[in-house]
Structure 1
């Protein structure tokens, strides 16, 4: 549908299309307002995840893929230096924090909903804080400026997943698509086998990596020098704040939306690297990370919502690239839909394996032996 558009036209569309993230944020108060006076208030509480995981995959398929890459050299350099894109991502931080706070007030005071409506509200808030909040945090923690680093840490603290700031950059990006990386799903591993290990590994490996960093600097692990203590401490303060404001139900809300958010993150991790692996070289090391080691999804709509996160192949090959200049590679393994659709598919392991296992085998055609026991789930 978009193939006839010129690269310059697409770049202009995307320049303003990245504002679409605000629709997800605004969908939550919209659903709350619609629930008032409705005969089905509980259903309106589920509005955001219904749109994200029901409507967006259909629109992805309808609109199709993004045909444009920025030209290397002058165009990439110019786009990378434009502060417009940087401030656009930073703008989401206060809006998302405000949404979390307001959402807690609604959760604690709204009497329209039964337990089902409250569950829907947690899923709605968590879908936004996970889908938009952690995506923005991911973009920011990969950048060097302190403002972006701290903004990314703040978003992660707001969903109780500060370990991602350390483990993702210093762990996942080093070991991606190898058996050493718990955030890279093995061939034939179900989502429900993957998630418990991913939760635990994110926390434990973050502490291990931070302790190693401090040891190299001859600094104590349990001190203000440990950034994880600061970020997890901030999460605890947020939980206390919700408790003071709304009682135990405020704490339950804060922890509940956090769980939804970081679970959505780990499901996306599952999707991004399922079954792919870096070959082990004769010297015992793994081959360098290339665009071949992440599933790519070039569907335009979800890429606009997610700041080009779906051009994940280029991100892993060039982690410092800013989202506006990430490229699509035709020879990278390609997902059949955007992340929203793939998340739904991953929740049903037989369907996921029926769709994705043939793609993994086709990608490694002629070297199926690479899908060895150490690459597969036990």
Structure 2
């Protein structure tokens, strides 16, 4: 639909379209409002989940891909200096935290819902804190300004996944698409084999990386300058606040939406790197990360919702590039749908493998030996 528009037009459209993050955030209070006095009260809390994972994948096909890359010599320097894009992403922080606190109040006080409605509410809120909150946090933790670093840590603490701030930057980006990376899924590995391994090893690796950093400063692991202790303490404060405000059910709600959010993150990790790996060189090192080591998805709609996260190939090659100037590379391996649709597909391993395994094999055609030994981490 937009593939023939001039690049300048597309960049102007996208500068406004990045505000689409407000749609799922506002979808939470709207779904609650529409459930009031409704004979389908238990259905409305599922609204955000159904739209994100049912409607958006279809709209991705209808709306199509985004052809626009900014000009490197003129537009990229200008766009990276524009405070508008930074303020746009920072605006998500108070909106998401406010939505989270209000959602906890609704969970406790809206007694019309049965467990079915409550489950839908937790999944919807967790989808927003995961899809929007962690995505924006991911953008922030790759940037140098302390304001953005702290904003990213705060959003991750709100879903009890502060270790991502350490492990993702210092672990995943170093070892991506190698057997050393727990966030890079292997060819033939199911989502359900990937998830427990990712939870465990990413948590442990974050502690290892932070302990090594502190050791270089001649400090013990259990020190107030341990960043993990800081962000897990913030998560504990969130939990305490929900407990004091809403009782044990409030604490349950906070923990449950956190699990949904960081599980969504790890499913995205599974999708982003499935079956791809960096070749080992004769000197024993892995080749440098380039745009061929991550799956790219250039569907316009989901890229607007996710601040260009789906241009993941460029992100892994140039991690500090801001979201508004990330590029699409035609020679990167391409996903057949946006992340929302691919997440649904990943939940069904036989369907996932039927769609993705031929793409992986085609990508390594002529060097199928690259797939051997890449089955498991």
Q: 1:225: which partner in 2?
A: 225
Match for residue 376 of structure 1? 375
Rounded to whole Å, the distance in 2 between the matches of 1:305 and 1:127 is 12
Match of 2:85 in 1: 85
Structure 1 residue 73: deviation in Å?
1.4
1:185 is matched with which residue? 185
Distance apart, 1:377 and its partner CA:
3.1
CA deviation profile, 1:103-130 (whole Å, cap 9, x unmatched): 0000111111111111000000000000
1:116 aligns with 2:128: no
Give ranges in structure 1 of 5+ residues lacking alignment. Answer: none
- Aligned CA RMSD, in angstroms, stands at 0.7
SS at match of 1:377: coil
Q: Secondary structure at the match of 1:200?
A: helix
Structure 1 match to 2:23: 23
Query: Which string of whole-angstrom CA distances, capped at 9 and with x for unpartnered residues, describes residues 42-73 of structure 1?
Result: 11010000000000000000000001100111
- Could you say which residue in structure 1 is the equivalent of 2:349? 349
- Give the corresponding residue for 2:133: 133
The alpha-carbon deviation at position 9 of structure 1 amounts to: 0.3
2:174 is aligned with 1:174: yes
Question: Could you list the runs of 4 or more consecutive aligned residues of structure 1 that deviate by over 3 angstroms after TM superposition?
Answer: none
1:237 shift after superposition: 1.0
Q: Which residue of 1 aligns with 2:150?
A: 150
- Structure 2: distance between partners of 1:68 and 1:245: 47
Does the 8 A contact of 2:295 with 2:332 survive in 1?
Answer: yes
**SS of aligned partner of 1:19:** helix
Which digits, 9 at most, give the CA deviation of each residue in 1:227-280, with x for residues without a partner? 100100110111011111111100000000000000000000000000000000
8 Å contact kept, 2:143–2:320: yes
| Rounded Cα–Cα distance in structure 1 between residues aligned with 2:122 and 2:102 | 12
Aligned runs of 1:248-287 on 2, under 5 Å?
A: 248-287=248-287
* Matched residue SS, 1:41: coil
Aligned partners of 2:106, 2:272: CA distance in 1, in Å?
A: 34
Inter-partner Cα distance in structure 1 for 2:118 and 2:110: 9
Name the counterpart of 2:334: 334
**2:80 maps to 1:75:** no
Question: What is the alpha-carbon distance in structure 1 between the residues aligned to residue 148 and residue 313 of structure 2?
Answer: 23
Q: Distance in 2 between matches of 1:102 and 1:291?
A: 41
What is residue 308 of structure 2 aligned with on the other side?
Answer: 308
Q: When the two structures are aligned, how many residues end up with a matched partner?
A: 377
* Alignment partner of 1:63 is 2:52: no
Q: What's the offset of the Cα at 1:291?
A: 0.1
How far does residue 74 in structure 1 lie from its aligned partner after superposition? 1.6
Q: Distance in 2 between matches of 1:113 and 1:73?
A: 55
Q: Give the TM-score normalised by the residue count of structure 1.
A: 0.99
Per-residue deviation, 1:135: 0.1
Q: Which residue of 2 aligns with 1:195?
A: 195
Task: Give distance in 2, aligned partners of 1:15 and 1:241.
Answer: 36
Residues in 1 aligned to 2:21 and 2:3: alpha-carbon distance in whole angstroms = 24
The match for 2:361 is 361
Name the SS for the 1:20 alignment partner: helix
Work out whether 1:322 is the aligned partner of 2:322: yes
Consecutive unaligned residues in structure 2, runs of 5 or more: none
